[in-house]
A = this chain, B = another copy of it.
Amino acid sequence: MAQPETRPESRDERRTPTSREQQAEQRRNQLIDIALDLFSEKGVDGATIKEIAAQADVAQGLVYHYFDSKEALLLAVIERHGPFAPLRVLLAQAFSQPIHEGLHTLAHGVYRIMSERKKLLRIVLHEAMLRPEMRQILLGVRAQLMTTVGAYLDTRIAQGELRSHNTEVTMHTLAVTIGSLVLAGFPPDPFLDDLVDTLLNGISAVPTHGVQPDDTQTKTNA
């Protein structure tokens, strides 16, 4: 939740907004937040402009004063509730820690960020299955994570903290699993720590690594 109170872009404007402008901004945000709720509960198609307007206690037409179309409203929802900023903060924090600690920080942080945006997450995932554009948004986030976290893991491999492995797999697994936990409503503990632990140490009892079992493994990563 802990959501932006004003539109992120309009943050620090020079000119003091008139009360009329303030009202408009509030109304706009109100509509966006109602849309967030309804879109996530019923899907974008399932939610109706009529209902959004009704919950804001305004006429249907007013929604179209602020947004050109339902589609535009959806984009506004995504923009306003996007996870990019907090994600950047988290990554910076986690990357400064030793790997065994950083991975836990990362997991819990991602869980928190996703939890706070659970509604948005549902919307985007849901729509991504139908609309290629939404799929792009998702892939974009994935790519960003992959790049930054990938670099992080590669560093640690270089430093000998991690063995050489397919970091994409690790990253993808982590992200997807956490997402599933959030969506399913599972609490973070003890799942997250166990997950990170498994990723770090595996579940095999055998003396292990160097990893003999079958050296199918492979690839140093892409």
Binding site for B on A (CB under 8 A): 41-43, 45-46, 93, 99-101, 104-105, 107-109, 122, 125-126, 129-130, 150, 153-154, 157, 160-170, 172-173, 176-177, 180-181, 183, 190-214, 216-222
Option from B160, B163, B213, B217 in Cβ contact (under 8 Å) with A216: B163
- Chain B contacts of A200 at CB under 8 A? 202-204, 213
Rounded to whole Å, the gap between the CB of A105 and the closest CB of chain B is: 5
In Å, the complex CA distance between A164 and B176 comes to 24
- Contact at A216–B202, with CB atoms within 8 Å? no
In Å, the complex CA distance between A201 and B45 comes to 44
Q: Which of A100, A162, A167 has the most CB of B within 10 A?
A: A100
Determine how many copies of this chain the complex contains. 4
- Contact at A218–B130, with CB atoms within 8 Å? no
Q: Which residue of B lies closest to A94 (CB)?
A: B222
Rounded to whole Å, the gap between the CB of A114 and the closest CB of chain B is: 14
- Chain B contacts of A45 at CB under 8 A? 43, 45-46
- Contact at B105–A221, with CB atoms within 8 Å? yes
- Contact at A209–B210, with CB atoms within 8 Å? no
- Contact at A193–B164, with CB atoms within 8 Å? no
- Contact at B163–A205, with CB atoms within 8 Å? yes
- Contact at B220–A46, with CB atoms within 8 Å? no
- Chain B contacts of A161 at CB under 8 A? 204-206
- Chain B contacts of A206 at CB under 8 A? 161, 209-212
In Å, the complex CA distance between A171 and B198 comes to 11
In Å, the complex CA distance between A194 and B222 comes to 12
